Amino acid sequence: MKLTRRQQEILDFIHERVAANGLPPTRAEIVAQFGFRSPNAAQCHLKALAERGAIQLLPGRARGLVPIERSSTPRNALPASDRLPVIGRVTAGTPILAVENREEELLVDAGAFSPRPHYILRVQGESMIGAGIHDRDLLLVHKTPEARSGQIVVARIDDEVTVKRLRRRGRGIFLEAENPAYPTLHVRPEQDFAIEGLGVGVIRRGL
């Protein structure tokens, strides 16, 4: 795969953001990172990367840039779709994947995301709009109890489940909103805290 220097820089930036935050950058973030004069310049580079098989552009998604990992899979092979449960409002005190929390199931090409999602969480509220995650968006979640500082996580504090950006400062654990109207949550030692998963992608359904 032959790329121009700028295309390789953009591809590296996409990989870095996915590794650091669990989500690809928005087009606006790419424009700001590389000093483009308009979003159209960034879009032209992204289309070129997609044509060369370096990324997949997913229409209708807030952060629809998926870097493609090279493998032995034939290029003409059809992606397998996984049926993932959509989790609505989580019932207090129950596991997030409990049957009573499930609204529906959606077919998703889970292999297009890294790491692979295991379920979909319907977002409530506007606390993460700065990260491109809006009220009633569908957040694809990779189930894991571990996360690095700076990643977007689904976390449980006592009986409440929230989507925030994880920050670790010394021994302190903080959950930061991506909206100045919402406060940062400081997890107190006496609280029951657990990471339920990492946000790996967003689907916007316009609901």
Write out the catalytic residue numbers: 127, 164
The CA distance from 96 to 129, in Å, is 23
Asked if the peptide bond before residue 180 counts as cis, ω within 30 degrees of 0, the response is no
Q: Which of 46, 11, 49 is nearest to 27 (CA)?
A: 46
Residue 55: strand pairing partners: 67
Contacts of 152 (CB under 8 A, 6+ apart): 21, 22, 23, 128, 131, 133, 163, 164, 165, 166, 198, 199
On the 0-12 / 13-18 / 19+ scale of CB atoms within 10 A, 15 is middle
Distance of CA 118 to the CA centre of its chain: 13
